[in-house]
Amino acid sequence: MLWNTLLLALRSIRRNLMRSCLTILGIVIGVAAVITMVTLGNGATKSVADQISSMGSNLLMVLPGQRFGPGAVPGAPFRIADVDAVRHQITAARAVAPVVSKSATAVYQANNWATAVTGSSNEYFEAGNWEIASGRNFTEVEERSGKAVCVIGETVREKLFGRQNPVGSQIRIKQFSCEVIGLLRAKGQASMGQDQDDTVVMPLRTVQRRIAGNQDIGRMTISVKEGASIDTVKDQLSRLLRERRNIGDNEDDDFRVMDTRQIAEALTSTTKILTMLLGAVAAVSLLVGGIGIMNIMLVSVTERTREIGIRLAIGALEREVLLQFLIEAVVLSSLGGLVGIALATAASISLAGLMDIPYLFDLGINLLSFLFSAAIGVIFGYFPARRAAGLNPIDALRHE
Amino acid sequence: MSDAALIRMSGITKTYGSGNVAFQALRGIDLAIEAGDFVAIMGPSGSGKSTVMNILGCLDTPTSGSYEFEGIRVEQLTRNGRALLRRNYLGFVFQGFNLLARTTALENVELPLIYRGQPTAHRHAAARAALRQVGLEDWEHHTPGELSGGQQQRVAIARAIVTRPHVLLADEPTGNLDTRSSQDIMDLIQTLNHELGITVLMVTHEPDMAEYARRVIRFVDGRVESDRRNDGEGV
Ligand SMILES: Nc1ncnc2c1ncn2[C@@H]1O[C@H](COP(=O)(O)OP(=O)(O)O)[C@@H](O)[C@H]1O
Ligand SMILES: [Mg+2]
């Protein structure tokens, strides 16, 4: 009986090719959209997390203000005295780098390139695991007097100098010219379109004086000595900064100390929200696909009811008719689900390539979308049939 | 009429709706039909001809009364039991053909055999033979949309007889056809009755068509008004 019913179901699918294709299409679009969105979102999250964990686990970032990202509570920026105090009093700190970041355009001859200029000290290279590929880092005199020198990242070199060695050349930033004294070894890792090698590093004083025009320090990057407890250092930092910023016992911090894990969480939470949002939008399209299927099924219900009447009249059992319709619905929606998964996989892989994020196969979302699409197909394909198959054959035949 | 009647109805009534809108379409039908007979059911529109045919064909159930088919008490059967009765003993031809749309003549004719679970080879052979019997051997791959009304009705007849039913029930089989096709169809039905011995019950309101039958039953207002044998054809 199963074999014969399968034959009938397949014949019916072939016979109603248009209806079958529209049903499949509705499911394909919904499933593909959901899976692609979630897969890309996961890839983006993973990419951010990877980049941060590549910074090492012994890194701390100190920021003024509470909360990171949207809804931040402002706090006064740090001063160089804060940095010195941390250097002297936190003995477990290996490198303490003050950081001021500004965007600016770097010009060399006819080439110009918009990049991020960071003002810091040699400790920035140490904390961030940067290596000097050629040239040198800052001298003490350059740092102290705020000389116009810079160390550039691989991307900046490529954009301004091509394959040429940049060391010793003068580039222009804002209104001053600046000698390139070193080139950083490429990290080659990008995240969410942010290229780490797209950077120009200058002494802190130089950036404060010539670009920012104030004494503010945007944040501190601190690397902790091997074997030292990150949590202890965080506590010490917190106490020191509360004291220096005159925060009363019952007041909240107006700064934040984050370790790598927290930085990762803060950054990935954004992409996670984005993933959920995109997933939700895509889920709507799955739903719309479902409504489309329902529409097609309901439109064809008159014809199908009469068909059921014919089948019953020539001796089909109710359960045979139902089984046929169930098989039809399952075949169509599974086919739609499978094509959707294939399409989503192809789209995710190529889009992930374009966006420079990893492709992560997510079994859960694939299964979920597939089951959901199958359920839609079965509900809208099977239940109308169930009503019709329960009628007297003559009533089904007369259905208008 | 002997006890060996193929079909025996007694006191069959059928009421549509209930309460104020209840309408009694059959008001107590007693009927016995013998195997091999060719019976025409006539009567004015609304007199209950289709209603009684549907009950005879187990497509519908009576409100009361008893119906025996080859000794089987039909009113005691379940839904599935009635379906199996249709499958194994009955063939139906409707005024509106009721073929599956976009489905070839061959597949339409095969359909009852699929439900009987017959193997493919046998199914094809039997369906082709039935199409040949109705003169459509060259049309097996045409869909109903590509066939004339007369041809569609012949496909429907082929579908009805492919299972070698004991009874062929036809409700105004020529109602939608022109005179020429009607005569072809009636000749065909008569041949089936004569040569295969299939019992034929046919509703018609055209006296010309009733001429083909051996027995004519007239319905009026849900009752049998007259029941006579055609001259020269009588038993
Ligand atoms: N499904 C139905 N619901 C209500 N009334 C019906 C239904 N089918 C038939 N009738 C009524 O029953 C009567 C007999 O109908 P029918 O058997 O179709 O007559 P006919 O002799 O023309 O074939 C008619 O008056 C018709 O209106
Ligand atoms: Mg009628």
Q: Between A299 and B207, whose confidence is greater?
A: B207
d(CA B31, CA A131): 106
Burial of A80 per CB tally in 10 Å (0-12, 13-18, 19+): middle
Same domain, A236 and A308: no
Cα A199 to Cα A119, A175, B23: the distances in Å are 11, 18, 91
Strand-pair partners of A150? A180
Count other C-beta atoms under 10 Å from residue B87's C-beta: 17
The sign one gets for the Cα dihedral B131, B134, B136, B141 is: negative
CB B143 within 8 A of CB B63: no
The beta strand positions in chain B, using DSSP E, are 7-16, 23-33, 38-42, 64-69, 72-73, 90-93, 167-171, 199-203, 215-220, 223-229
B121–A contact, CB cutoff 8 A: no
d(CA A158, CA A160): 6
Does pLDDT of A69 surpass 60? no
Same domain, A20 and A42: yes
pLDDT at A357: 84
For residue B224, the domain's CATH number is 3.40.50.300
**Of the listed ranges A328-342, A360-374, A377-391, B145-159, the one predicted with least confidence:** A377-391
Same domain, A153 and A243: yes
pLDDT at A266: 77
**In the predicted model, what is the mean pLDDT of chain A?**
87
**Do the chains contact at B57 and A313, CB–CB below 8 Å?**
yes
d(CA A56, CA A70): 25
The DSSP-derived string for B176-235 is TS-HHHHHHHHHHHHHHHHHH--EEEEE-S-HHHHTT-SEEEEEETTEEEEEEEPTTT--
d(CA A33, CA A369): 10
Q: Which amino acid is at A267?
A: L
Domain final residue pick, A200, A221, A253:
A253
**Of the listed ranges A50-54, B36-40, B74-78, B141-145, the one predicted with least confidence:** A50-54
pLDDT at A70: 58
Report CA(B14)–ligand 2 centroid distance (Å).
14
d(CA A380, CA A289): 12
Percentage, residues of chain A above pLDDT 70: 95
pLDDT at A36: 92
Burial of B116 per CB tally in 10 Å (0-12, 13-18, 19+): middle
Percentage, residues of chain B above pLDDT 90: 88
Kindly indicate the confidence band of residue A189, based on its pLDDT and cuts at 50, 70 and 90: low
Asked whether residue A363 is assigned to any structural domain, the reply reads yes
pLDDT at B152: 96
Does pLDDT of A291 surpass 90? no
Asked whether residue B30 is assigned to any structural domain, the reply reads no
Does pLDDT of B66 surpass 90? yes
Q: Which amino acid is at A242?
A: R
Q: Which helix (H) or strand (E) holds A176?
A: strand A176-184
Same domain, A225 and A287: no
Question: Residues 52-71, chain B: which have Cβ within 8 Å of A?
Answer: 54, 57, 59-61
Cα A383 to Cα A30, A316, A317, A391, B79: the distances in Å are 21, 18, 17, 13, 20
- As a whole number, mean pLDDT of residues A264-272 equals 79
Which residue range forms the structural domain that includes residue B139? 36-62+83-229
Kindly indicate the confidence band of residue B233, based on its pLDDT and cuts at 50, 70 and 90: very low
The sign one gets for the Cα dihedral A59, A64, A65, A71 is: negative
Report CA(A251)–ligand 2 centroid distance (Å).
91
End-to-end CA distance of chain A: 30
pLDDT digits (tens, 9 = 90+) for A141-159: 999 999 999 999 999 999 9
- As a whole number, mean pLDDT of residues B82-87 equals 96
Hey, what are A378's tokens?
């079965």
- As a whole number, mean pLDDT of residues A116-135 equals 91
Nearest to B117 among A4, A15, A310 (CB): A4
Domain final residue pick, A223, A253, A283:
A253
Which residue range forms the structural domain that includes residue A112? 76-253
The complex's ipTM works out to 0.94
Cα A378 to Cα A18, A29, A366: the distances in Å are 18, 17, 18
pLDDT digits (tens, 9 = 90+) for A215-236: 999 999 999 988 888 889 999 9
Tell me the residues of A at the B interface, defined by beta carbons under 8 Å apart.
Answer: 1, 4, 7-8, 11, 15-16, 303, 306-307, 309-320, 392-395, 397
Same domain, A100 and A229: yes
Does pLDDT of B1 surpass 50? no
pLDDT at A121: 94
Please tell me the number of Cα atoms within 13 Å of A43 on its side-chain side. Answer: 24
Same domain, A271 and A247: no
Same domain, A121 and A247: yes
- Which positions ≥6 away from A142 have C-beta within 8 Å? A149, A181, A203
The answer, yes or no, to whether any atom of ligand 1 lies below 6 A from the CB of B115, is: no
Can you give the pTM of this predicted structure?
Answer: 0.73
Same domain, A179 and A111: yes
Does pLDDT of A329 surpass 50? yes
pLDDT digits (tens, 9 = 90+) for A272-289: 888 888 888 888 887 887
Contacts of A303 in chain B (CB under 8 A): 101
d(CA B30, CA B222): 11
Kindly indicate the confidence band of residue B52, based on its pLDDT and cuts at 50, 70 and 90: very high
- As a whole number, mean pLDDT of residues B152-157 equals 95
Q: How many domains are contained in chain A?
A: 2
Hey, what are B190's tokens?
């008569």
pLDDT at A201: 95
Kindly indicate the confidence band of residue A292, based on its pLDDT and cuts at 50, 70 and 90: confident
Same domain, A231 and A330: no
The sign one gets for the Cα dihedral A328, A332, A333, A337 is: positive
The residue count of chain A comes to 400
Q: Which amino acid is at A189?
A: Q
pLDDT at B232: 53
Q: How many domains are contained in chain B?
A: 1
Does pLDDT of A246 surpass 90? no
d(CA A372, CA A364): 12
d(CA B71, CA B7): 8
The answer, yes or no, to whether any atom of ligand 1 lies below 6 A from the CB of B204, is: no
Kindly indicate the confidence band of residue B145, based on its pLDDT and cuts at 50, 70 and 90: very high
Same domain, A386 and A282: yes
Q: Between B101 and A286, whose confidence is greater?
A: B101
Same domain, A338 and A291: yes
Does pLDDT of A190 surpass 60? no
Same domain, A106 and A13: no
Nearest to A119 by CA among A263, A218, A185, A224: A218
Does pLDDT of B173 surpass 90? yes
Nearest to A15 among B102, B111, B163 (CB): B102
pLDDT at B80: 95
pLDDT at A68: 53
pLDDT at A117: 94
